Amino acid sequence: MTLDAHQEKLGFQAEVKQLLDIVIHSLYSNKEIFLRELISNSSDAIDKLRFESISDPALYESASDLAIKVSFDKAARTVTVSDNGIGMSRDEVVTNLGTIAKSGTREFLSHLTGDQKKDSHLIGQFGVGFYSAFIVADKVSVKSRRAGLGVEHGVAWESMGDGEFTVLNVEKLHRGTEVTLHLKEGEDEFLDAWRLRSIITKYSDHINTPIMMLKLSEDEKATDEWETVNRATALWALPKKSVTEEQYIEFYKHIAHDFENPLAWTHHKIEGGAVEYTALLFMPQHAPFDLWQRDTKHGLKLYVQRVFVMDQAEQFLPHYLRFVRGVLDTTALPLNVSREILQDHHTIPKLRSALVRHVLDLLDRVAKDEPEKYTQFWQEFGNVLKEGPAEDFANRARIANLLRFSSTNPEAKEQSVTLMDYVKRMKPNQKKIYYMTAENIEAAKSGPHLEVFQKNEIEVLLLTDRIDEWVVSHLPEFESHALQSVAKGDLALDEITGESKDSQKDEKQDDKQLPAFEALLKKIQGILDGKVKEVRLSHRLTSSPVCLVREQNALGPQMERLLKAAGQPVEEAKPIMELNPDHAIIQKLQNETDEATLQEWTQILYEQALLAEGSALPDPAAFVKRMNKLWMEIFS
């Protein structure tokens, strides 16, 4: 509804209303962080002005001294945070303060549980810091003017946090943004100079823009002179020895808009080489809700010679390391660099290689020295790191060392076994690393394909994530040992038993059994014509009657389902059906003369084998009918 020619009353986007409700009801456990969030926004606005002014110096408007100012008015009970950064136009104010222009917003909100502790880190990672002002304020007023626009293009925004806001055109002499918080009753602690200074020092000391407050006189009264409260030095440019753990943590929260501490970090300054750079890289504790969204941008904050250039520069780390947050500052790029220039600049491969090495070094260190932390990392980001072997051939061996699996080893915890652990426990004559893919651990452990391995106490890796089969397809070997699916190919029995004499004995036994079962194999092959490629005797089975296996280079059932779910065309390979010649059912079928009975049993065994490998039955109702008929015959 239009109130006059220049003022409008508008409603918040529905998602903003929901977030405001969560914030206003004290989602954040520590109220004072509202000041950190507002200062962080001001810092970003100043960084953007620095960058845009490279190509348009007139944006400075003859005022090149950049600063953030924090003040308060006890009588009016207000706290104000102002900056002379890039500022906002009317449209930008409405968009930035009235809506959440982020993909996946609804998905994010669906993750909120109502548990304040669990929801707090999601809110922080989503980056809605401005709305934290309503933790302590019952009214928030904003005045802003975008650099380069005339003084008459100022805009005033105001809201009580009740679902609506007003926007009014005003004159604003200076560019930038001024946010005024009208404090709620009981929030008077923030009307104290020393309290505000302590918050700035605690949370924002690292920001490389001066944060200023009015200087205090000897009797602690405000003077007319502004003074810098923070160190105003780029933290990443400081010597590592001079940066405290607390400073690293607060810097991470600033750049990542995260309310939780980082899990680990690494800080590097490289000088004197072909490419000079400083990098400060962090691993978060938790995966953001949009980690798997294709249109979500991830990347580092890029600075060139201490000048902010862009957020989420994706060119410096591969996609499988998209969870990394941090800063890259380099002299190797031009100040007017753009995303298009980054695609082809000759220094990018060198910077990328170095940064990947730093991240992998950090993961190696955490895995070795802080295994509990690495377990937490793996639970959050393991499936992302698994993309590495396919994406980063040069570092495939290093990434392989960082992968974690479950296995049949009774002493191993789930998702804790490394490939090196497996190799160290291999049997003396064992040549391959064996693995089993399945929907879950229970299905993997009870799969018929494991029977001969369990009998011979051969460890098998249990791969239960949807991505796993794709991962191992790009990781053919480790430490010169080929990775082999227990459900593919025809197993070489001497590798399993490790005893060539027994192997030869078993093979002779197979030679004797084959003629006896040859007729049965042909009959079953005929009954299942079009469903299986071949029917043969099995080396894998010891207690199950049948199983389905794939050819060595064929897609497994999990990979087929994954590709189909992604809408990819899949050329389905017919499986091979293996029979256990020592099983009572198979021996009974060998002597079955009634063709109808043989056909019923063959269909039941085939469908059981499909279920055992995790595949869906083509006709579940027909399977149920066959089973019911079988039970009726048994009990009649």
Query: Each residue of 157-202: pLDDT tens digit?
Result: 999 888 788 999 999 999 999 999 999 999 999 999 999 999 998 8
The count of C-alpha atoms lying within 13 angstroms of the C-alpha of 195, restricted to the half-sphere facing its C-beta, is 12
Query: Each residue of 504-533: pLDDT tens digit?
Result: 344 445 556 778 889 999 999 999 998 999
The fold of 7-233 is Heat Shock Protein 90 (3.30.565)
Element containing residue 199 per DSSP (H, E): helix 193-204
Res 459: pLDDT: 95
Q: How confident is the model at residue 617 (pLDDT cuts 50, 70, 90)?
A: confident
Element containing residue 252 per DSSP (H, E): helix 245-256
Q: What's the CA gap between 345 and 352, in Å, rounded?
A: 12
Residues 6+ apart with CB under 8 A from 296: 103, 104, 290
Whether the predicted pLDDT of 503 surpasses 50:
no
Residues 6+ apart with CB under 8 A from 567: none
Query: Each residue of 53-102: pLDDT tens digit?
Result: 988 999 999 899 999 999 999 999 999 999 999 999 999 998 888 765 44
For residue 449, what are the β-bridge partners? none
For residue 183, what are the β-bridge partners? 137
The dihedral built from the CA positions of residue 338, 344, 350 and 353, taken in this order, carries a sign that is: positive
Please give the full DSSP string across 515-571, using - where no structure is assigned: HHHHHHHHHHHHHTBTTBSEEEE-SS-SS-SEEEEB-TTSPPHHHHHHHHHTT----
> Strand order in 300-304's β-sheet?
264-270, 277-283, 325-330, 300-304, 307-313
Can you give the length of the chain in residues? 636
CB atoms near residue 273 (< 10 Å): 10
Whether the predicted pLDDT of 498 surpasses 90:
no
Ranking 457-471, 533-547, 617-631 by mean pLDDT, the lowest is: 617-631
Q: How confident is the model at residue 39 (pLDDT cuts 50, 70, 90)?
A: very high
Res 99: pLDDT: 65
The fold of 236-367 is Ribosomal Protein S5; domain 2 (3.30.230)
Query: What dihedral do alpha carbons 194, 196, 202, 208 form, nearest 10°?
Result: -110
For residue 455, what are the β-bridge partners? none
Query: Each residue of 190-221: pLDDT tens digit?
Result: 999 999 999 998 888 888 899 999 998 877 77
Residue labelled with tokens 């206003």: 24
Q: What's the CA gap between 579 and 2, in Å, rounded?
A: 79
Res 342: pLDDT: 80
Res 514: pLDDT: 75
For residue 166, what are the β-bridge partners? 9, 158
pTM, entire model: 0.76
Q: What's the CA gap between 476 and 470, in Å, rounded?
A: 11
Exposed/middle/buried for 271, CB within 10 Å: 0-12, 13-18, 19+? exposed
Distances (CA, A) of 562 to 211, 278, 559, 565, 569: 52, 40, 5, 5, 11
Q: What's the CA gap between 437 and 444, in Å, rounded?
A: 7
List the domain boundaries for the chain.
Answer: 7-233, 236-367, 506-635
Measure CA 191 to chain center.
Answer: 40
Measure CA 566 to chain center.
Answer: 19
3-state class of 464 per DSSP?
Answer: coil
Res 507: pLDDT: 47
Ranking 117-121, 299-303, 323-327, 499-503 by mean pLDDT, the lowest is: 499-503
Residues 6+ apart with CB under 8 A from 36: 129, 199, 203, 204, 250, 253, 254
Whether the CB-CB separation of 322 and 291 falls below 8 Å is answered with yes
Distances (CA, A) of 114 to 26, 127, 271: 12, 18, 49
Res 101: pLDDT: 45
Q: What's the CA gap between 590 and 252, in Å, rounded?
A: 69
CATH of domain 506-635: 1.20.120.790
Q: How confident is the model at residue 118 (pLDDT cuts 50, 70, 90)?
A: low
Report residue 189 as tokens. Answer: 């602690």
Q: What's the CA gap between 558 and 509, in Å, rounded?
A: 34
Q: How confident is the model at residue 400 (pLDDT cuts 50, 70, 90)?
A: very high
